[in-house]
Amino acid sequence: MKNAGSVYEGGGLVIELKIIYILKTMKNKFEANIAQSKMQSEKMLKTMQQLSADAVYTGAFEMSLDEINAEIEAVRNGL
């Protein structure tokens, strides 16, 4: 028959193993989130760079705020 001390020691090992498993799982999820965030940031940067290049190509980068607002209004009114 096991004594109370040996049951506690065995139970402690199980708890420790569960804690290790939980920490590893959390670490993997955290690392996956970081990787996904990095990919999203890179995609966003590439999109912004492409928008800037398109603005230079079309001449839109030289437009004033009033000209931009006029363009938006024209599109909204179907002109």
pLDDT tens string, the chain, 79 residues long: the values are: 455 445 455 556 777 778 888 888 888 888 888 888 888 999 999 999 999 999 889 888 888 899 989 999 999 998 7
**Cα separation of 46 and 50, whole Å?**
6
Torsional sign, CA 69, 71, 76, 79:
positive
> pTM score > 0.85 for this model?
no
**Sign of the CA dihedral 49, 54, 59, 63?**
negative
Q: Which residues of 13-22 are buried (b: 16+ CB within 10 A; e: fewer)?
A: eeeeeeeeee
